[in-house]
Amino acid sequence: MFYDADGRLRSLLASWTDVAAPDVFIEIAAGRSFVRPDDLATLAALIEQIERSHGG
């Protein structure tokens, strides 16, 4: 968390900074993958849920 130029308290995801330990997948992929497997599975589940809600 930090204060912006106007004095408002703001926050960032720890994953957007170097505070948290590096993601193991990102380290191993070394820039060769656009998405992490967990994120891809989450996206697939979301798409499936949207399709079901629209009668697909």
pLDDT tops 80 at residue 56: no
Contact partners, residue 26, CB within 8 Å, separation at least 6: 36
CB 14 within 8 A of CB 2: no
Distant-in-sequence, close-in-space partners of 10: CB < 8 Å, separation ≥ 6: 1, 2, 3, 4
- Pair 22, 29: CB distance under 8 Å: no
Q: What per-residue confidence (pLDDT) applies to 25?
A: 83
pTM: 0.47
Number of domains in the chain: 1
Could you tell me the residue range of the domain that residue 27 belongs to?
A: 1-53
What are the pLDDT digits (tens) for 8-55? 999 988 877 888 888 788 888 888 888 888 889 999 999 999 999 998
